[in-house]
Amino acid sequence: MQNSDILEQIKNLSNEEKRNIKQEELIRIMQNMTTEEIIELSKIIGYPVFTRLCMGELNHKFVLLQDGAVGIIQNEKGEILLQRRSDNDLWGLPGGCQELGESFEETIIREIKEETNLDVDEKDLKLISLVSGKSRMRKYPNGDVVINNTPLYYIEKYSGELKCDEESKELKFFDLNNLPQNQHDPDLIEVYKKYKTERN
């Protein structure tokens, strides 16, 4: 079977099936792949999941340093968009992990489209801050522990109709003075509040 056929087969798997690929099978698949094909494989599976699969038995024990991007999307009322996450039921900001070869701008534009169905142009992204360190450590229900390096973008211009994907239970705009208590990204929201105060 050609590598292109293998990649197409994996692309057609459900997310759950992709997460359950055995390390031995992954090694066998990757042995005859070029670097470009391995990058494509990582994009199909999703880079963090792909990395964990490559670790085998250490997959949940190894603390993963990962890069991603997050967006503060503000509507005309000054409210910010939060998503109630499917994995931990917390309210978080739209965003996610960088795939191999992506710029941070490409990452946030892709993640916003996937998670909210909104379209954003690169020219309308405003970088607020690069957030890193211990405040960015996250523990997930499946046992993963990660520390994120996160460019935080501010977005006022966008188009499209809000629509949840499988990562979200709900999408809603909130007033900054009436945010939900169970937040996934309180550190990033504090960075945004400081940025907003300094702008005024």
DSSP for residue 13:
S
Q: What DSSP string runs through 126-173?
A: EEEEEE-SGGGEEE-TTS-EEEEEEEEEEE---BS-----TTEEEEEE
DSSP for residue 40:
H
Calpha distance 132→149 (Å, rounded): 5
Residues 6+ positions from 27 with CB-CB distance below 8 Å: none
Q: Which is the catalytic residue, given 17, 36, 156, 170?
A: 170
Active site (annotated) includes residue 36? no
Residues known to be catalytic: 170
